[in-house]
Structure 1
Amino acid sequence: MEEWSGRELDQQITQFLEANRLRMIGDAKGLIRINSVGQAYAPGSSHPFGEGCAAALDEAVRLMLREKLDVTAFDGYGVKGQLAAAGEQGKGSIGFFAHLDVVPEGEGWGFPPYEPFVRDGYLFGRGAMDNKMAAVAALYVLKFFAESSMKLEHGLYLFLGCNEENGMRDIRHFLSKHEPPLFGIVPDAYFPICYAEKGMLRADFEGEVKEGNLLSFSGGTDYNVVPASATALLGGVVPDHARRLLPPAFTVESAPEGVRITVQGQAGHAAFPEGTDNAAVKLAAALVESGLIQGASAVRALTFVKECFCSPYGHCLGIAFRDEAGAATSNAGAVQIRDGRLSLLCDVRYGVTQDCTDILEQLASAATRYGMQLVRTEDSPPHHIPKDDRFVVALCELANRQLGTDQPPYAMGGITHARWLPRGAAFGPLRRDQPSVFPAGRGGGHQPDEAIQLETLWDAFRIYVEAVLTIDKLLSEGEQPR
């Protein structure tokens, strides 16, 4: 294997970026223009996650073929592009794993979410940060090695899935048909490297809301997004009366049936509730406390929302916990009351040493106390790599050296494709040492006005190129990730 000095490698990367930055941005914009919010899972369909996700995968195939990669489609779940000239047969591969599906756009945007643009060094649009620009960066890492004289001892590929946000059936399907990589890089988090991801439990609650004046209630779009707004329709209520009983932050409008009440919250990712404000919980609490709601079942349903989700850290559900991965979190991500029934989609992120069985018992008990039912659960167990693993240490040192930081490997509540890989980790492209330039609740993944700083991506690209070389060398020396 040809060796390059650090200076030579840096020069090669600089030249490559100068030649390809605009193309990378253009490719990312093309992907962002596609509304790839996943739809209801349709097993057996050629488009199991809907037309938008299928269109995003079609665009990914086009880009991969343009770069002369060996392309394999995985039944509408994802697509793999393999660097044809990399590695020797039978030695195994290094894999990048990213996703092209996005969460629903929600409300409060300052511009159309699927019309991307660059301003002040940031690329804006739904999916810019999570995860389309990073997916393009990984594609161009393969392009870099295809065009360079540096030959790898192991294969190199990129897998792009379309169900990361809502079940991760994409990577599970891939691994059911393809051997796992010797080591997987997941560019869907922060540097320096994530060594542990919390468990994720999704829980569906239901209950009857038959009598009373609560005609409808709606807040939130999905499990893992903190609701940005919530609206309720009440019958037989005079608008001026409602305005006197509610705080000024609540909007009261006349409706044919009575009044429509709306409140804004602060959106964000369910796994990172700091600075968020759940609008659905806020509205439920205000309606109960004001006395505007009539009917025992309606009061009970909204009290369930108010009291069980009053804290994003599980205290009100009896599942508060903290370990090396941080505090457990709980989110009422989508709350609907319609046609006499409550539906609540709950996201729980729990510690790497926390017992999921205990959590399930607490959730079922909470539902019973309020006349609700826990009707469905889906668990994704925690992911953990030892901090002193040779690969973790090497990649952590690489990221810190390139970024001029001195940060330890970290654990997080966010979950990525890495949790399904026998050997892999979430590794950038974002930075934890730089504060956001956007107002609270804006500019991040799962938030309105989503954006990613382009300079961050160029730094990450350099790190990813060197990471491939580092992993390739460790594997050639006989190192095996633990």
Structure 2
Amino acid sequence: MKSSQELDWHISQFLEANQEAMIEDAKGLIRINSVGLAYNPGSSQPFGEGCSSVLDEAIRLMQREKLDVTDFDGYGVKGELAASERGSIGFFAHLDVVPEGGDWSFPPYEPFVRDGYLFGRGAMDNKAAAVAALYVLKFFADSKLPLGHGLYLFLGCNEENGMRDIRHFLSRHEPPQFGIVPDAYFPLCFAEKGMLRADFEGEVADGNLLAFNGGTEYNVVPAAASAILRDVDPEHARQVLPGSFTVEALPEGIRITASGKAGHAAFPEGTDNAAVKLAAALAAHGLVRGSRTLRALAFVQECFASPYGHGLGIAFRDMSGEATVNAAVRMENGRLRLLCDIRYGVTQEKSGIQQLLEEAAARYGMRLTRTEDSPPHYIAPDDPIAAALCDLANRELGTNQPPYAMGGITHARWLPRAAAFGPLRRDKPSPFPAGRGGGHQPDEAMYLEAIWEAFQIYVKAVLVIDKLLSEEKEQN
């Protein structure tokens, strides 16, 4: 192909011939409930049957395209178009999804297309993009465009809950010369906040709280929460609680349910944590007894009412934006447990955060029991490849946006030279109501036109990266 016009024509022809197949492949992946289960190291299914099944489907698709397939012990799978002694360019996407939660308008694992959107859990995060990357490899195989470097796609199954997938991959495989992670927005993400997961625990067996359940995942803002109380008159509870709460009489007492707005913990704007809302209401209206129970609920209410860390004393802002916090809350064996997700700034000191968490917990009779850290990621915006990719995206999309930082985390943070790069657009508002249609939300959907645009950008990105890597090697 001698010109950009000729390349554009070939890409257009390829998409015309393959769009329907791409949609069907994405639907096939979405139909598989690939919520990761409890980590089971050493098992052939380390993240459960659903994740194993979706990797089996990915292997089938890769083998259909005659890629060289490597299964990384159930953590993920790599499909390689070609290897090279000069190193490789790698795409990294994930096939695990967060739990579907409630309040869907349709069954989350029965995908369909409507009004130009592909609907279903995982459509946006991250299965449609994974298929787009697979077809980039198919494009280069079909077109026989020469590359000076290898090209592969890695699909993992633990991105949402620990990123053991890519860490396992890197324990057995050299990193790429450059990695493209299609799990964010264009034009290019140059910084990802650090992510600290923290577990808190405190006793709540001294009162009339029998159960509390609000959320199951660290990184999902709970859309619903419920508590069971004994020795509370249901009519009294209905009178004192606002209309957004429901009260149900049970043989053992009453169940109170609160509704919120779900969303990704890293992007709390427009969300409403139902667990925090419920804890505040139970205490404010005198429905809960027991000094330890009240202190634990006050911890939930006061330390997590602000999604920006003010209650915990860890509020912070730098080039990567504001620190954010989220908590899922559950009660087990007379103890209240909080699963806390903290996204901290690229320049924020992690050790200082942990000390402040311990101090905040102690003030409420709680205890910090576990932390797990994923350090921040940064690639200089003037890195030659990063700058070229940013320019490419802006040129192709007709935008003029700078590279950005975000609270979301991707596989890029574990790679020495990589960036999250599309397929979403920051300049296009969502047509869905707040709390719906996005990743980690009910009625998740992916705009198909964005996938077709991203596919074209990814093909050209491979050529740009291949050229710049070759030039760097010549200069060195």
Are 1:41 and 2:39 an aligned pair?
Answer: yes
AA aligned opposite 1:205: F
CA distance in 1, matches of 2:375, 2:459: 30
SS at match of 2:472: coil
Q: State the Cα distance separating 1:359 from its structure 2 match.
A: 0.3
CA distance in 2, matches of 1:480, 1:79: 32
For 2:111, the equivalent position in structure 1 comes to 116
Q: Is contact 1:106-1:221 (8 Å) kept?
A: no
SS at match of 1:203: strand
Are 1:308 and 2:307 an aligned pair?
Answer: no
For 1:132, the equivalent position in structure 2 comes to 127
CA distance in 2, matches of 1:326, 1:236: 46
AA aligned opposite 1:349: R
Are 1:386 and 2:380 an aligned pair?
Answer: yes
SS at match of 1:294: coil
CA distance in 1, matches of 2:65, 2:341: 39
User: What is the aligned counterpart of 1:78 among 76, 79, 82?
Assistant: 76
Matches within 5 A, 1:329-344: 329-332=324-327, 334-344=328-338
For 1:353, the equivalent position in structure 2 comes to 347
Calculate percent identity across the aligned residue pairs.
75
AA aligned opposite 2:264: H
For 1:371, the equivalent position in structure 2 comes to 365
CA distance in 1, matches of 2:153, 2:74: 16
User: What is the aligned counterpart of 1:58 among 41, 56, 59?
Assistant: 56
For 2:24, the equivalent position in structure 1 comes to 26
The superposition leaves residues 162-186 of structure 1 with CA deviations (integer Å, 9 ceiling, x where unpaired) of 0000000000000010000000000
For 2:66, the equivalent position in structure 1 comes to 68
For 2:435, the equivalent position in structure 1 comes to 441
For 1:403, the equivalent position in structure 2 comes to 397
Task: Note the aligned Cα RMSD (angstroms).
Answer: 1.1
The superposition leaves residues 129-156 of structure 1 with CA deviations (integer Å, 9 ceiling, x where unpaired) of 0000000000000000000031111100
Matches within 5 A, 1:35-434: 35-84=33-82, 89-332=84-327, 334-434=328-428
CA distance in 1, matches of 2:438, 2:303: 27
The superposition leaves residues 185-213 of structure 1 with CA deviations (integer Å, 9 ceiling, x where unpaired) of 00000000000000000000111111211
Q: State the Cα distance separating 1:480 from its structure 2 match.
A: 10
SS at match of 2:146: coil
The superposition leaves residues 252-298 of structure 1 with CA deviations (integer Å, 9 ceiling, x where unpaired) of 11111221111110100000000000000000001110011011121
Matched length = 475
CA distance in 2, matches of 1:255, 1:277: 27
AA aligned opposite 1:414: G
AA aligned opposite 1:73: D
Q: State the Cα distance separating 1:72 from its structure 2 match.
A: 0.6
CA distance in 2, matches of 1:390, 1:121: 35
AA aligned opposite 2:437: G
Are 1:476 and 2:470 an aligned pair?
Answer: yes
Which has the larger displacement, 151-160 or 293-302?
A: 293-302
Q: State the Cα distance separating 1:479 from its structure 2 match.
A: 6.0
CA distance in 2, matches of 1:480, 1:472: 13
AA aligned opposite 1:261: I
Q: State the Cα distance separating 1:236 from its structure 2 match.
A: 1.1
CA distance in 2, matches of 1:387, 1:6: 25
The superposition leaves residues 436-458 of structure 1 with CA deviations (integer Å, 9 ceiling, x where unpaired) of 00000000000000000000000
Are 1:465 and 2:459 an aligned pair?
Answer: yes
SS at match of 1:478: helix
CA distance in 2, matches of 1:149, 1:52: 35
The superposition leaves residues 98-120 of structure 1 with CA deviations (integer Å, 9 ceiling, x where unpaired) of 00000000111011100000000
Q: Is contact 1:93-1:157 (8 Å) kept?
A: yes
TM-score of the pair, normalised by structure 2 = 0.99
Q: State the Cα distance separating 1:243 from its structure 2 match.
A: 1.0
Q: Is contact 1:195-1:410 (8 Å) kept?
A: yes
Q: Is contact 1:208-1:340 (8 Å) kept?
A: yes
TM-score of the pair, normalised by structure 1 = 0.97
Q: What stretches of structure 2 of length at least 5 have no aligned partner?
A: none
In the TM superposition, structure 1's runs of 4+ consecutive aligned residues that sit over 4 Å from their partners are none
The superposition leaves residues 358-402 of structure 1 with CA deviations (integer Å, 9 ceiling, x where unpaired) of 000011111111111100000011000111111111000000011
